[in-house]
Amino acid sequence: MSNCLFCRIVAGDIPAKIAYEDEDVIAFHDINPQAPLHVLIIPRKHIASINDIQPEDAALVGKLFLAAKHIAMEAGYAENGYRVTMNCGADAGQTVFHIHLHLLAGRELGWPPG
Q: List the catalytic residues.
A: 100
| Nearest in space to 29 (alpha carbons), one of 42, 40, 13, 44 | 40
Q: In angstroms, how far is CA 109 from the centroid of its own chain?
A: 17
Cα–Cα distance, 80 to 2 (Å, whole number): 39
Cα–Cα distance between 114 and 106 in angstroms, integer? 19
